[in-house]
Structure 1
Amino acid sequence: MPSDDPAAALATINQAIGQSARLARRDPGEVTLIAISKTHPAEAIVPLLEAGQRAFGENRVQEAEAKWPALRARFQDVTLHLVGQLQSNKADEAVALFDAIHSVDRLSLVTALAKAMEKQGKRPECYLQVNIGDEPQKGGCAVADVPALLGAARAAGLPVVGLMAVPPALVEPAPYFALLAKLARDHDLTGLSMGMSSDFETAVTLGATHVRVGSALFGARA
């Protein structure tokens, strides 16, 4: 199981990212592996930190607040990414804790984040989350709403660097990754947060700059 030897799992995934990047004639250094540490305790995260992994992703502000201050006291060059849905009333906490927020998906959140950033003088990188498969149960703005939301976010001063999406489960993800990449190009965005444990290699070949890998590193979640 991946969780039995985190350092070996990390090396395997980094090797796969490198192979996929070279296949697409990309520099592997353009791709950041975000280790999705949600639901995993600090003691499960430390071996990856000791193996050199420095970008981590959490789903919930409250869980991250409980784990990461102590870990960051030991490993000060960590970058922390919020990859889950964010409630507007948690914007202050999210801006204080995270270096990047991947789930900006509505105008009310744009407004809340802009206020929090202004107040704190801290500006985490932002990704607009797109509901790329038009699935009612998923967060993210509709594809058709990307121009308006992006315009509002830029006008509010959010440092929007890219787009994020999760394709529908149990279907070929490549067309969805390609659509997200086209949307990003059309709007002069270079960041593409896409690809998870089951499909990160495909995502890398189609332009992902950030892949979000959890179970392949930590083993299945409890």
Structure 2
Amino acid sequence: MNQRQHSAIAENLQQVRERIASSAALCERSPEEITLLAVSKTKPASAIEEAITAGQLAFGENYVQEGVEKVAAFSNHQPPLVWHFIGPLQSNKSRLVAENFDWCHTLDRLKIAQRLNEQRPKDKAPLQVLIQVNISDEQSKSGISLAEVPQLAADIAAMPHLMLRGLMAIPAAETDYDSQLAVFRQMTEAFNSLKLSYPQIDTLSMGMTDDMPAAIAAGSTMVRIGTAIFGARDYSA
């Protein structure tokens, strides 16, 4: 990676942080309420290193094996990086997530929750988890319906090696801001309802490069940004 690409990631991060701050200001929120998760899937360790140099410590990975390799590569970094698994999770990969990641955003089945709870090393802090909601009811996407959230939340809350922190969603792509906002507000309503029962709930993970302003206006506390930081992904490898 040459110096021009290096500086581009730092510049991109600064621009994203400024976008977060301006979006927050428009709805009278503090930018400190919103965590920036840098989505580093398919990106090399050198790109992550440049993001770290620019002050980024929280990273999201979609592919288990790739993510585990990156967690290992940066395991001695100080201060420690925070690794979030944000991709669909199959049963046969649950142990790798339980043993290596700090967060899992995509919990949508009791079976997976039980496996993660059993497989989380006892010498590690509980795995921080979010319930994924299929808010747009898309056949192609993971997640449960809003109606199913209370039961799964209750099941997770009883598991000693998981810590339920909130909800995550990937709505259907909408170019219209008002349409984006309407969907995100459904998530916020569910999030606020869940907080009444579970005081530790504090994370609403929604908003990506193309819909971040609407997500922040609706109440997102964590935005997942990849392309705007690292550039377009190359899936040809």
With the shorter chain as reference, the TM-score category is over 0.9
For 2:136 and 2:97, locate their aligned partners in 1 and report how far apart those are by CA, in whole Å.
27
Alignment coverage as a number of residue pairs: 222
Q: CA 1:38 to 1:161, structure 2 compared with 1: closer, same or farther past 3 Å?
A: same
Q: Which residue number in structure 2 is paired with residue 95 of structure 1?
A: 98
1:79 partner letter: V
What is the CA-CA distance between 1:97 and the residue it aligns to? 1.3
In structure 1, the residue matched to 2:232 is: 220
User: Counterpart of 1:86?
Assistant: 89
Could you say if the C-alpha distance between residues 183 and 167 of structure 1 is closer, same or farther in structure 2, counting changes exceeding 3 Å? same
Aligned to 2:189: 182
Go from structure 1 to structure 2 and tell me whether the alpha carbon gap of 1:104 and 1:2 turns closer, same or farther (over 3 Å shift): farther
Which secondary structure does the structure 2 equivalent of 1:73 belong to?
coil
1:73 aligns with 2:73: no
Which residue does 1:193 correspond to in 2?
A: 205
Q: TM-score, normalised by structure 2?
A: 0.88
Aligned with 1:163 (options 167, 173, 176): 167
Query: Quick check: 80-89 or 112-121, which moved more?
Result: 112-121
**Structure-1 separation of matches of 2:79 and 2:91:** 28
Instruction: Return the alpha-carbon distance in structure 2 between the equivalents of residues 4 and 133 of structure 1.
Output: 37
Give the TM-score of the pair, scaled to structure 1: 0.93
The unaligned stretches of length 5 or more in structure 1 are none
| Contact 1:3 1:218 survives alignment (8 Å) | no
> How far apart, CA to CA, are the structure 2 residues paired with 1:26 and 1:2?
32
Aligned to 2:30: 27
Q: CA RMSD in A?
A: 1.8
1:66 to partner: Cα distance: 1.8
Given that 2:99 and 2:121 are in contact with CA atoms closer than 8 Å, whether structure 1 keeps it comes out as: no
Kept in 2: contact 1:96–1:120 (CA 8 A): no
Q: Report the alpha carbon displacement of residue 103 of structure 1 after superposing the two structures with TM.
A: 0.5
After TM superposition, give the deviation of residue 183 of structure 1 in Å: 0.3
Q: Deviations over 1:159-215 (max 9, x none)?
A: 111100011013532111100110011111331000001111211111111100000
Q: Distance in 2 between matches of 1:138 and 1:2?
A: 33
User: 1:126 aligns to what?
Assistant: 129
Query: Match for 1:131: what amino acid?
Result: N
Q: The residue matched to 2:36 in structure 1 has which SS? A: strand
Unpaired runs of at least 5, structure 2? 196-200
SS at match of 1:77: coil
Aligned-partner residue type, residue 216 of structure 1: A
- Give the C-alpha shift of residue 2 in structure 1: 8.3
Runs ≥4 in structure 1, deviation > 6 angstroms? Answer: 1-4
Q: Superposed, which structure 2 residues align to 1:148-159 within 5 Å?
A: 148-157=151-160, 158-159=162-163
Equivalence for 2:198: none
% identical equivalent positions: 38
